[in-house]
Amino acid sequence: MKIGILQETHPGETRIAFAPKTVEKLVQMRCTVFFEPGAGLRSSFPDSEYLSAGATKAGRTDLLSDCDLVAAIHPLSDADLTRIKPDGVVLGLYQPYNDPDIEARVGRFPLVHVLSLDMMPRTTIAQSMDVLSSMASIAGYQAVLAGAALLPRYFPMLITAAGSIPPAKVLVLGAGVAGLQAIATARRLGATVEAFDTRAAAKEEVLSLGAKFVEVEGAVDDRGAGGYAVQQSEEFLARQRAEVQARASKSDVVICTAQVRGRKAPILLTAETVGQMRPGSVVVDLAASTGGNCELTQDGQTVSVNGVTILGNSHLAARQPADASTLLGNNILNLLKLFVDKNGQAAFDWNHDILRAIRIGKADAAAS
């Protein structure tokens, strides 16, 4: 199988679909790998590392038309999709939950198989292929580093000759993959941490990381939602907002990660609550791209309201592009291992549960 790694064209993207270490493994699997010159530079991977890993340079047009599988993080343009050869496979994050038109757009290329990695099912077998978890973990880590850098105080408790400094107080809203990594990172930096989540299973995980779990009675049961959170009632959210207010007003940093797939993020931190936070406090909102957990979040911007800094950024994984690309590529590699034989040839079984879940743009994915 010929695999092509494309240069990302999306502004601000620093990651790449495969890091050189993953390319080495693809070559060991007897796949032939091509890459666009300079594609890895923004992730800190020079062309020489791809060449040493066994890949070959190719121009974009040749790569698109000649490869059996083409990998790029962001959706390919129509002009690029037009060039893909019949039965070619295109891999990336097409996010049909956030872009309602994407399925119809890629559906206009019926001979191309588009695999949207963000649609990976939450099953045990698919865990090692879960790109969203890989990126969420980095985002949670980066959120704490960003919060610590903006805070005009220390995170750890310090006892110095000049006086004592108490530990920073961090509040984490949403204890999924990103939230748990934020808790772990804030704890490693010495902060005291409290966290909210609606999933019953989150409590034990939060406690095991040395944080306090704040319980709000009456959350809707999420079992049966395939590992995803479910929409909560307005009455529950109102009670939760009151609890959040009581704690946020005493916190130095609030990390927002609460999301419900396919919906606007729940507002948990109101403008009134921000008004009660101490000047110098920081809100880092990872839910910004779906509206944010903070009422005052502006996606892609850092704003200051009454001395509180609010950073709205759902793409913090791009701040750590080398690791992000390595994990992303390994996730894709684990997917390909299911379908590539010992001679490096791929036979995609379109009826396989995982491919049925991630293939988009086909009216009847199983039949075609």
List residues with catalytic annotation. 122, 127, 130, 133, 228
Binding to ligand NAD in span 278-337, by CB under 6 A: none
Choose, by CB under 6 A, the member of 105, 199, 247, 359 that binds ligand NAD.
Answer: 199
**Which range binds ligand NAD by CB under 6 A, 62-70, 171-179, 270-278, 344-352?**
171-179
Beta carbon of residue 145, minimum distance to ligand NAD (angstroms, whole number): 19
- 194 is an interface residue for ligand NAD by CB under 6 A: no
Of 202, 317, 335, 360, the one binding ligand NAD by CB under 6 A: 202
> In this chain, which of 33, 90, 175, 182 binds ligand NAD, going by CB under 6 A?
175
User: Of 88, 266, 321, 329, which lies in the binding site for ligand NAD, with binding defined by CB under 6 A?
Assistant: 266
Please say whether the beta carbons of 289 and 98 come within 8 A: yes
What's the min distance (Å) between Cβ of 83 and ligand NAD? 33
Shortest Å, Cβ 341 to ligand NAD? 25
Pick the closest to residue 360 from 151, 98, 138, 180 (CA basis): 98
Which one of 229, 296, 317, 328 is in contact with ligand NAD (CB under 6 A)? 229
Q: Give the one residue of 80, 197, 252, 285 binding ligand NAD; rule: CB under 6 A.
A: 197
Measure the CA–CA gap between 368 and 159, rounded to whole angstroms.
Answer: 67
Chain residues binding ligand NAD by CB under 6 A are: 122-123, 126-127, 130, 133, 136, 173-179, 196-199, 201-202, 227-229, 232, 240, 257-261, 266, 268
